Amino acid sequence: TKQDYSAAKADFDAAFQINPKNAVYVINRARCWIALNNKAEAMRDIDLAKQLGATVGDDVIQAAQALKWFIPLVFAHVPKSM
């Protein structure tokens, strides 16, 4: 469930803070972001894992790339014509 992936992501956040050179935590956190449908964070973690020297599997990269970008819509108040 979404809650399980959020909890797992928090665990990987904590693990990465303890050992910030372990790319496995980052790759697994990217998998959580994918499950949570957050492309921006998934791609950021994929890039970070690569910077740490990890080889990121094509399955992870393709799953992240398949997500749609979330662009929040902002509705401004438009006054009615007089």
pLDDT digits (tens, 9 = 90+) for 33-70: 999 999 999 999 999 999 999 999 999 999 999 987 65
Higher pLDDT, 16 or 1: 16
Q: What's phi and psi for 28, nearest 5 deg?
A: -65, -35
Distance (Å, rounded) from C-alpha 50 to C-alpha 60? 12
The closest of 10, 57, 65 to 40, measured between CA atoms, is: 65
Higher pLDDT, 82 or 36: 36
Q: What whole-number percentage of the chain has pLDDT above 90?
A: 77
Q: What is the pLDDT of residues 50-60, one digit of tens each?
A: 999 999 999 99
Higher pLDDT, 55 or 1: 55
